[in-house]
Amino acid sequence: MSDSVLLNEIHVIENFLKEKIGKKRAVIGISGGIDSSLVLTLLSNSIPVSNIMPFFLPEKRTPESDFRDVETLCKSLSIPYETIFIDPISESFKKVLKPPRRELDGNIKARVRMTILYEKANENDGLVIGTTNYSEYMTGYFTKYGDGACDIEPILHLKKSDVRKLAALMRVPESILSKKPSAGLWEGQSDEEEMGITYDEIDRILSLMDSGKTEDNDTYRKVEEMVRVSFHKRIQPENLLSQRK
Residue 25, in any domain of the structure: yes
Phi and psi based region of residue 241 (left: phi greater than 0; alpha: psi -120 to 50; beta: remaining): alpha
* Range ranked top by mean pLDDT from 36-50, 184-198, 229-243: 36-50
Residue 86, in any domain of the structure: yes
Average pLDDT, the chain: 93
Residue 244, in any domain of the structure: no
d(CA 27, CA 69): 19
Residue 182: give its domain's CATH number: 3.40.50.620
Terminal-to-terminal C-alpha distance of the chain: 44
d(CA 87, CA 168): 33
**Rounded (10°) angle between helices 160-169 and 3-21:** 90
Residue 241, in any domain of the structure: no
Count Cβ atoms within 10 A of the Cβ of residue 181 and give its class: 0-12 exposed, 13-18 middle, 19 or more buried. Answer: buried
Residue 132, in any domain of the structure: yes
Domains in the chain, number: 1
Q: Which domain holds residue 17?
A: 3-236
Question: pLDDT, tens digit, for every residue of 69-125?
Answer: 999 999 999 999 999 999 999 999 999 999 888 788 889 999 999 999 999 999 999
Residue 116, in any domain of the structure: yes
The answer, as to whether pTM is greater than 0.75, is yes
DSSP 190: -
Q: What is the pLDDT of residue 145?
A: 96
Q: What is the pLDDT of residue 37?
A: 98
Residue 105, in any domain of the structure: yes
Q: What is the pLDDT of residue 180?
A: 82
